[in-house]
């Protein structure tokens, strides 16, 4: 039986300013959900979001209020082993709130997998890989600093895929910044951009043409998520891979985008999809439609990153790798044992459940009061 659900907000400074077209992050608010069960098993989930309401409809504070006030009372007293039944109740009664639902579903699945003594990936169909390629985001906004940072990552053998956050400056300036970095890093390194919806369709046509000619191999969400027709026209016009991110808010969007030919690649995000199982449906739509997969992040800490890794390890195909570097952007670790990044890959934890344990002492120190 589910006996208690607790939401913890913990503010952790980032290792450097992280510039997005919608916000500049100096710290990240981790939103952690802990579900306690009568049999002594507990499960954890995470509902961390990027830039709060600058990015999407849920903020750390709204997740906490909505779980505490509306979602927890629905679940306390229900059978903890019946995860699907519990989530069906939540999804029937609660509109939206995809991040909150994801954290709750993750915590219930974590608890159930621990009870069964298996990694969470086994409840999601079973893993086909034990390690995931991880991109790094260069987002200092400064060209020389970004090149130095990328060279350091290559030397550490931590990342060889780099994503640049652009869209805040004029198109020509952004393109010059990206191509200078691509030129400095060379052909053996993958350089990609995320525009976070900042371009109009006309700007996108100019920007994408220049980036494609310069050897950039993936363009993420160049235009408004709501302009499905625009993305489809761009995907049709250019050979370079276009990826949907903000436009993908669950399986229904995945189906509509696939039907419209609105993307070559899907960025699968567990929270944005509304949970691990809806995210698995997003991936299934992609695979049935010939759309490639990429494992996205909301810059979660170790709990959400482990949950994403458990799901992405089950994808038959993961052509564009992942960006599960969230914990590496934070100055403080909240796990007892940090996730392992080695040889350009994140090792998928193989213990029961998520395979990671939160450090309660550190959380007590970091949590917002």
Contact residues: Mg ion, CB under 5 A: 194, 220, 245
Task: Give the nearest distance from C-beta 267 to Mg ion in angstroms.
Answer: 6
Please, where are the H alpha helices in the chain? 60-66, 72-75, 83-93, 98-116, 143-155, 171-185, 201-213, 228-237, 251-260, 270-273, 276-289, 302-312, 360-366
Residue of 64, 163, 165, 269 marked active site? 165
Task: Give the nearest distance from C-beta 56 to Mg ion in angstroms.
Answer: 11
Task: Give the nearest distance from C-beta 194 to Mg ion in angstroms.
Answer: 4
**Partners of 353 in beta bridges:** 119
Task: Give the nearest distance from C-beta 218 to Mg ion in angstroms.
Answer: 11
CA-nearest of 186, 245, 304, 308 to 21 is 245
> Among residues 105 and 245, whose Cβ is nearest to Mg ion?
245
> Among residues 146 and 194, whose Cβ is nearest to Mg ion?
194
Q: At CA 136, angle to CA 172 and CA 170, rounded to 5?
A: 15
Q: What is the CA radius of gyration of the chain?
A: 20
d(CA 116, CA 28): 33
> Among residues 224 and 367, whose Cβ is nearest to Mg ion?
224
d(CA 34, CA 221): 33
Task: Give the nearest distance from C-beta 10 to Mg ion in angstroms.
Answer: 23
**Partners of 42 in beta bridges:** 36
Give me the helix-helix angle, 201-213 and 228-237, nearest 10°. 30
Q: Confirm whether 85 is a catalytic residue.
A: no
Q: How many CB atoms lie within 10 A of CB 354?
A: 31
d(CA 235, CA 233): 6
Judge whether 124 and 141 are in contact, CB under 8 Å.
no
Q: Confirm whether 42 is a catalytic residue.
A: no
> Among residues 174 and 194, whose Cβ is nearest to Mg ion?
194
Q: At CA 267, angle to CA 302 and CA 141, rounded to 5?
A: 75
Task: Give the nearest distance from C-beta 243 to Mg ion in angstroms.
Answer: 8
Residue nearest to Mg ion (CB): 245
> Among residues 113 and 329, whose Cβ is nearest to Mg ion?
329
Residues serving a catalytic function are 165, 323
């Amino acid at each position: 039986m589910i006996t208690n659900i607790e939401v913890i907000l913990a503010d952790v400074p980032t290792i450097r300013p992280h510039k997005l077209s919608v916000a500049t992050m100096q710290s990240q608010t981790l939103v952690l959900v802990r579900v306690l069960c009568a049999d002594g098993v507990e499960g954890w989930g995470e509902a961390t979001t990027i830039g709060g309401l600058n990015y999407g409809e849920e903020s750390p504070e709204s997740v906490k209020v909505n779980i505490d006030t509306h979602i927890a009372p629905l679940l306390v007293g229900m059978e903890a082993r019946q995860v699907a039944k519990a989530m069906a109740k939540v999804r029937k009664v609660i509109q939206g709130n995809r991040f909150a639902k994801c954290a709750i579903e993750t915590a219930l699945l974590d608890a159930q997998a621990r009870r069964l003594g298996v990694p969470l990936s086994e409840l999601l169909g079973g893993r086909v890989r034990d390690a995931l390629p991880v991109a790094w985001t260069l987002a200092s906004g400064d060209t020389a600093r970004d090149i130095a940072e990328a060279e350091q990552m290559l030397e550490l053998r931590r990342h060889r895929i780099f994503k640049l956050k652009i869209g805040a400056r004029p198109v020509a300036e952004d393109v010059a910044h990206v191509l200078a970095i691509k030129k400095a890093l060379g052909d053996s390194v993958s350089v990609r951009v995320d525009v976070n919806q900042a371009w109009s369709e006309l700007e996108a046509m100019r920007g994408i043409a220049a980036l494609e000619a310069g050897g950039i191999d993936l363009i993420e969400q160049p235009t408004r998520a709501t302009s499905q027709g625009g993305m489809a026209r761009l995907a049709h016009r250019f050979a370079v891979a276009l990826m949907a991110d903000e436009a993908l808010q669950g399986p229904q969007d995945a189906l509509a985008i696939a039907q419209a030919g609105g993307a070559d690649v899907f960025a699968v995000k567990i929270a944005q999809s509304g949970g691990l199982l809806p995210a698995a449906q997003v991936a299934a739509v992609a695979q049935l439609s010939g759309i490639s997969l990429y494992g996205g992040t909301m810059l979660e800490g170790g709990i959400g990153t482990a949950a994403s890794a458990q799901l992405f390890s089950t994808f038959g195909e993961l052509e564009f790798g992942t960006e599960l570097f969230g914990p590496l952007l934070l100055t403080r670790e909240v796990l007892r044992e940090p996730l392992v990044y080695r040889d350009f890959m994140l090792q998928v934890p193989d213990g029961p459940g998520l395979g990671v344990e939160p450090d309660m002492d550190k959380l007590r120190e970091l949590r917002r009061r």
